[in-house]
Structure formats: C-alpha cells, structure tokens
C-alpha cells in the first residue's frame, strides 16, 4: 500500500484540466492560494479536443469590456476565446488550444497524464491516489467534467448504437441513411452535419426541444441550433420525429431495427447514433457526496460535500435546488465561491476575489436559470 509523501502535500488538489479545472484554479490563485496542483488524466482541454471535428460551441463568443465579462465562454477575467481565436463559435479543438494558452499565461501548476484512481478522507486530510503516486491535500476540487463518460444505459439495445461523443468527424462516417436517437444539441448537431454532407437523417426525440417556449438553452435548443435547423440542407435531408419514445434497438441480419413504444419501426443498415448525453465524472466520487433525488451530488451553499468537509465540486454537474450550471457561463459563477471558501479556511483574506463581482460572479448568492436541465 502506498504511503503519504510529505514532499507532495498540498493545500488544494484540483482534479481535471478542462474549463472548470483551469477556471477554478485561476480563482484559487486570485485568492492567494499558491500550494495547489491540477491533475489532468490526459492533457489540458482533452475533452474539448475529442469533439467531432465539425462541432462548435453553441454559446457565442464576443469580446467586450463593458462590465469585465469578456464573453460567455471565458473562464477567467481578462481573457476571451473570441479575442484569442478570432472565432465566434469555436470548435472543440480551438477551445482546447485556448485553454492551454490560458493555463500557460497564468502559470497554472498542472500535472498532465495523471489518472486519479481514488480520493479518500484520512483524518483531516485527503489522500489522492494516482496510477503512479499518492498525494496529500487539505482540500479537493472535483472538476473532471463529463464528456468522456457517454451515457449508454436507459435504452434497451443502446450498446448497439454509436454515441455521438465517439465520432471523430461526420464527413467520413460510412452510410447514407442515419437514425439519430436524441434531439437535443448533440443530436441536432449531428443531423445538421450529416445533412450538409448529403445524408438522409431521421431524428427521433421523446420530447420536442425545438418547440420549447423558453429562451434558456438548458431547456430548449440554443438559437445557434435553431438557426441551423432552418438551413436548406437540414430541411431537405432531415425528418423530425418528436414525442417519440424508443422502446428498443435490435440487430436483425444486416439491418438495425429501432422500435418505439407505440409500435413504430425505423430501419437502416447504418448503425444508429445515440445523442443521449453523458454520465458525468461525479459518479466516480459518489461515495464522498450525499445524492440528490436526481442522482447529482448534494452540495452545501459553498459547493462542498455535505458529508465530507473539504471536498468540492466544480463544473456542469453542480446543482442547487432546481438551479443548474451546465454551461461555462453558468458554472464559472461558482469558481469564486469555492476559492473564497477554501481561502478562508486557510486563513487568507481572498481580497482579489471581490473583482469577480464585476464579472457577474456572486460570492454569496446563487444565480442561474432556475430550470431543470435537459442537456444533463
């Protein structure tokens, strides 16, 4: 069994080098916390870099300095992917490059290619076991994200489908007749790109997110997706099937058979695409949090575990009541909350965090859409 190495003791260990991990790390630095490290399983921004080549951010980036909040996809004060990339809707690879640039600029202490195996509370400290080492820390911030954990359960025969998160690009997908299960953002994105390449698409959803009467992209489709649904290629090549509940997927000879609860059947010789969202990495540390009725971690007002003090959550899995934080511009509001809480426990004044108020971040109050999130 590994033992603690006193040379590897930290005030904070951040797990995850994506938007949440890098963003909250910069907030820690602004709070005066120096003795921390970020552990990233692959490389900074790896989840974004693994997006399909054609997929872009649905939230637009636009540089402005009116109130210090540069754009919706910023993770730190003073930086903007719109400015650094000169792109309004970055691709995943472009945004990954932006994150690496931000991490380098702020000199965020990152240890890449480090797989965290376990997080255990031992006395007043945490033991963080990686594949190669053991670290000791007073606080842990879990910011490992969700894109690397596609959801395949909940559908009989779901293993016969291909999740959209595993697609490197749509241009080189074999076949001309695609069935897509799931009509939210990733489903519409897949349908749009396949239609652009001249493919026939049948898009099936149990609801009708493109008709939701709300402007909140946590519930309805973003305007970016709605605009693309009006493209000529989409109208001509994509057939929509709203309010259609899938019962099962089967393989019959060379054909895939998709059956609905009301007996409708969709068949294709192309493997169906599943756009069913993600499990989220928070399941890997479920034992350190109480669970809400919806399966997400129960958090204190400071985004801390209610049963394991010192364990914090950052990223799209954060929930408070019916408030959801599934987009960068939502969950970044919580960076300063976590950083201030940890800084206070370490006896630091965290005075620089007051500037986050000008960035739309509130240290004591929740601010979000107040809706249940269908993307998560």
Strands 246-252 and 36-39: unpaired
The verdict on 40 and 118 lying in the same domain is: yes
Would you say 13 and 137 are in contact if contact means Cβ atoms under 8 Å apart? yes
> Looking at 143-276, which runs of residues are DSSP E strands?
162-163, 177-181, 200-204, 238-241, 246-252, 255-260, 265-268, 273-274
Among residues 55, 132, 136, the alpha carbon closest in space to that of 96 is found at 55
> How far apart (Å, rounded) are the C-alpha atoms in residues 307 and 365?
22
Q: For the chain, how many structural domains are there in total?
A: 2
Would you say 317 and 144 are in contact if contact means Cβ atoms under 8 Å apart? no
- What residue numbers bound the domain in which 98 lies? 6-148+278-359
Does residue 17 lie within any of the structural domains? yes
- Residue 63 CA to its chain's centroid (Å): 22
The verdict on 14 and 134 lying in the same domain is: yes
The pLDDT profile of the chain, 376 residues, written as one tens digit per residue, is 233 344 689 999 999 999 999 999 999 999 999 999 999 999 999 999 999 999 999 999 987 655 555 688 999 988 899 999 999 999 999 999 999 999 999 999 999 999 999 999 999 999 999 999 999 999 999 999 777 777 777 789 999 999 999 999 999 999 999 999 999 999 999 999 999 999 999 999 999 999 877 766 667 789 999 999 999 999 999 999 999 999 999 999 999 999 999 999 999 999 999 998 787 788 889 999 999 999 899 999 999 999 999 999 999 999 999 888 888 988 998 999 999 999 999 999 877 776 665 555 444 444 444 444 433 3
Strands 125-130 and 116-122: antiparallel
- Among 243, 274, 305, the domain boundary falls at 274
The verdict on 163 and 256 lying in the same domain is: yes
- Among 244, 274, 304, the domain boundary falls at 274
- Residue 127 CA to its chain's centroid (Å): 26
> How far apart (Å, rounded) are the C-alpha atoms in residues 28 and 22?
10
Does residue 372 lie within any of the structural domains? no
Does residue 369 lie within any of the structural domains? no
CATH number assigned to the domain comprising residue 75: 3.50.50.60
The verdict on 162 and 248 lying in the same domain is: yes
Where on the phi/psi map is residue 353: left (φ > 0), alpha (ψ -120 to 50), or beta? alpha
Would you say 32 and 191 are in contact if contact means Cβ atoms under 8 Å apart? no
Among residues 316, 317, 325, the alpha carbon closest in space to that of 370 is found at 325
């Amino acid at each position: 069994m590994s033992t603690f190495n006193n040379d590897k003791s930290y005030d904070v260990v951040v797990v995850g080098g994506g938007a949440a991990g890098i963003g909250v790390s910069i907030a820690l630095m602004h709070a005066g916390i120096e003795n921390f490290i970020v552990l990233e399983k692959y490389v900074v921004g790896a989840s974004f870099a693994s997006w399909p080549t054609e997929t872009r951010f649905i939230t637009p980036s636009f540089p402005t300095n009116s109130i210090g909040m540069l754009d919706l996809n910023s993770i730190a004060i003073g930086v903007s992917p719109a400015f650094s990339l000169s792109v309004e809707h970055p691709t995943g690879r472009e945004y990954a490059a932006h994150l690496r640039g931000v991490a380098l600029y702020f000199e965020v202490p990152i240890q890449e290619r480090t797989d965290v195996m376990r997080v255990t509370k031992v006395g007043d400290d945490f033991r963080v076991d990686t594949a190669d080492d053991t670290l000791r820390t007073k606080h842990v911030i879990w910011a490992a994200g969700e894109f690397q954990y596609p959801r395949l359960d909940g559908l009989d025969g779901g293993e016969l489908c291909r999740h959209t998160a595993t697609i490197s690009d749509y241009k080189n997908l074999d076949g001309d007749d695609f069935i897509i299960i799931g009509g939210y953002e990733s489903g519409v994105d897949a349908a749009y790109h396949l239609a652009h390449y001249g493919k026939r698409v049948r898009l099936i959803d149990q609801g009708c997110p493109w008709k939701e009467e709300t402007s909140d992209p946590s519930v309805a489709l973003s305007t970016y997706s709605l605009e693309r649904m009006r493209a000529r290629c989409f109208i001509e090549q994509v057939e929509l099937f709203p309010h259609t509940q899938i019962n099962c997927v089967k393989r019959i000879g060379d054909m895939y058979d998709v059956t609905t609860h009301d007996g409708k059947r969709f068949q294709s010789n192309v493997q169906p695409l599943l756009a069913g969202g993600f499990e989220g990495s928070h399941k890997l540390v479920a034992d350190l949090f109480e669970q809400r009725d919806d399966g997400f971690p129960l958090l204190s007002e400071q985004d801390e575990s209610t049963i394991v003090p010192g364990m914090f959550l950052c990223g799209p899995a954060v929930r408070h009541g019916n408030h959801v934080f599934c987009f960068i511009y939502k969950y970044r509001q919580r960076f300063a909350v976590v950083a201030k809480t940890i800084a206070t426990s370490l006896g630091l004044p965290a005075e620089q965090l007051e500037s986050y108020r000008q960035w739309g971040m509130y240290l004591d109050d929740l601010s979000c859409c107040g809706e249940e999130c269908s993307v998560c």
